[in-house]
């Protein structure tokens, strides 16, 4: 239980697995719920959700949002997105910003283990009728070309020198080695290369784990999907993004693989040990953190930024492999076979950003754990051709269900540091999912709906069954109506390569 006494003692309401008690919140608006500061909370907690979504949330989310609000140097509020669920330290879907000048901290638990896990979406120029006749062939070709699953390895082998170059260069490193073009980099956060990465802070064990894993999907909820645009809600923005009803797009969801997990594990242990020496009283050991300006804080930031570059390079290589498959199958009908990049967004990061706080522009360290950056129109970090529309926000659904393309809003910049949800959010654990579904049956059921699944693990398919997740449409509607991001288009899967 918690190391504080709340304004209303939740007792067993806050046990993992039980649903939320709405009496613990003050309702600010239809889609905003506030936890007033109590005990050692330094700021309020805020959850963005419809009443139905909030009721169904794991009650541990309340505890974790409140715990994050106790960390030193936190600014504004401890936020949770509409897809929030219980996580390690921070809730998944948690957002918090810290001010280094006010003793702010960086938390490995506030970033997560799969550092810079994210989604990128490619435009194809194809229509659904172009895919129908070759769908099975395309599924098999992608499955052969894209290594997927637990411990999957690719054809790329990095020696020590090349590993460090990749960790410093990110997607730019990949492009320089022939995996894509300069045009791709403009459509990736940070221009495809996170500054401040320090490969020297990445352990040899982390590098060893990644040596053979570049250009692989991994396992869990990672995927590559061929998707059809079925609905457009904001035609002006959709036109700017280059999508219309009937279009075929490709989305890739993966992260920093073993390297990111190793970094998270190692630094969490170090931060737990170091916290008392910095005078930090942790409400939960999983919120282990270090002052931003401390040697440990700087070392973690250097390692985490290297992991961000690893994830960006990984998605760039997967993009190249995908383009090669499309070029082989559509060589006559799609001679360019370039599949231009719409955008690449990361979740599970801590980034230095400027935001307005109490009428002043402040440099903040924004943690997004299972949450997506969603910068609004006019933001200087966006590509010029997208700037008027706002940043593309790519929301992945669960296997076999819809995904969405949204756009950042000006309102969202002022209420949650330009952040939005990142997916559907789990409704049950993987263990629960295994008790409810059989992987082969899930594959057959989805095939009956015209969705082809290719995966090396039927256990993994069962763990990721669509019913194990919240209804992504409800999550996206809540984000839209809360002003976090604007709904632009809906896409549905035709082919899914599942890790």
Active site residues: 422
The strand pair at 74-85 and 45-48 is best described as parallel
The answer to whether residues 117 and 90 touch, using CB atoms and an 8 Å cutoff, is no
Q: How far apart are CA 14 and CA 18, in angstroms?
A: 7
Give the phi and the psi of residue 295 in degrees, each rounded to 5: -55, -40
In terms of Cα–Cα distance, which of 447, 338, 451 is closest to 397? Answer: 451
Number of Cβ within 10 Å of residue 200's Cβ equals 11
Would you say the C-alpha torsion 59, 64, 69, 70 has a positive or negative sign? positive
Is residue 138 classed as helix, strand or coil in its secondary structure? helix
Closest alpha carbon to 115 in 75, 88, 97, 142: 88
C-beta of residue 326 within 8 angstroms of C-beta of residue 339? yes
C-alpha span between 209 and 306 (Å, rounded): 14
Q: How far apart are CA 93 and CA 220, in angstroms?
A: 17
Bridge partners, residue 364, by sequence: 353
Residues 457 and 436: their CA atoms lie apart, in Å, by: 16
Taking a C-beta distance cutoff of 8 angstroms, is the pair 237, 488 a contact?
Answer: yes
Alpha carbon of 148 to those of 141, 322, 480: distances in Å? 13, 13, 33
Alpha-carbon gap, residue 214 to 199, rounded angstroms: 16
Helix ranges (H only) for 330-471 are: 384-387, 410-415, 430-436, 439-448, 458-463
Which positions ≥6 away from 272 have C-beta within 8 Å? Answer: 282, 285, 288
Longest CA–CA span in the chain (Å) reads 68
C-alpha 399, offset from chain centre:
16
């Amino acid at each position: 239980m918690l190391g504080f006494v709340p304004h209303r003692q939740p007792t067993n309401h806050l046990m993992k697995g039980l649903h939320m008690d709405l009496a613990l919140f003050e309702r600010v608006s239809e889609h905003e719920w506030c936890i007033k500061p109590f005990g050692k909370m330094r700021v309020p907690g805020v959850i963005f959700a419809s009443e139905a979504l909030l009721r169904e949330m794991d009650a541990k989310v309340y505890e974790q949002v409140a715990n994050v609000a106790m960390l030193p140097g936190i600014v504004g509020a401890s936020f949770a997105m509409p897809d929030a669920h219980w996580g390690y330290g921070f809730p998944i879907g948690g957002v918090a910003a810290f001010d280094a000048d006010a003793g702010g901290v960086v938390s490995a638990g506030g970033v997560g283990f799969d550092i810079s896990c994210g989604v990128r979406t490619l435009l194809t120029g194809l229509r659904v009728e172009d895919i129908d006749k070759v769908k099975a062939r395309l599924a098999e070709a992608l499955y052969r070309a894209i290594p997927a699953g637990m411990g999957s390895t690719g054809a790329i082998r990095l020696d020590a020198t090349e590993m460090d170059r990749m960790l410093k260069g990110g997607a730019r490193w990949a492009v320089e080695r022939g995996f894509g073009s300069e045009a791709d980099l403009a459509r990736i956060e940070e221009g495809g290369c996170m500054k401040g990465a320090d490969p020297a802070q990445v352990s040899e064990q982390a590098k060893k784990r990644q040596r053979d894993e570049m250009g692989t999907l991994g396992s869990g909820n990672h995927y590559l999907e061929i998707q059809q645009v079925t609905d457009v809600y904001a035609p002006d923005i959709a036109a700017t993004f280059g999508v219309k009803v009937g279009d075929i797009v490709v989305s890739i969801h993966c992260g920093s693989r073993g390297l990111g997990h190793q970094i998270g594990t190692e630094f969490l242990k170090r931060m737990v040990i170091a916290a008392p020496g910095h005078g930090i009283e942790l409400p939960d050991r999983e919120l282990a953190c270090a002052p931003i300006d401390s040697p440990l804080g700087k070392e973690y930031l250097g390692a985490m930024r290297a992991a961000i570059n690893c994830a960006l390079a990984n998605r760039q290589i997967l993009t190249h492999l995908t383009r090669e498959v499309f070029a082989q199958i559509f060589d006559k009908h799609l001679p360019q076979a370039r599949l231009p990049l719409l955008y690449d967004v990361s979740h599970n990061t801590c980034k230095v950003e400027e935001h307005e706080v109490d009428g002043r522009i402040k440099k903040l360290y924004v943690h997004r754990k299972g949450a997506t950056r969603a910068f609004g129109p006019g933001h200087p970090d966006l590509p010029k051709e997208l700037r008027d529309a706002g940043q593309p926000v790519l929301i992945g659904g669960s296997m076999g269900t819809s995904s969405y393309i949204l756009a950042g809003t000006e309102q969202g910049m002022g209420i949650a540091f330009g952040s939005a949800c990142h997916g559907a959010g789990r409704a049950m654990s993987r263990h629960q999912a295994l008790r409810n579904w059989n992987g082969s049956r899930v594959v057959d059921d989805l095939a009956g709906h015209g969705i082809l699944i290719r995966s090396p693990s039927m256990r993994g398919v069962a763990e990721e069954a669509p019913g194990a997740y919240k209804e992504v449409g409800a999550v996206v509607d809540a984000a839209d109506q809360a002003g976090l991001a604007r709904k632009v288009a809906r896409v549905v899967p035709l082919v899914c390569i599942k890790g």
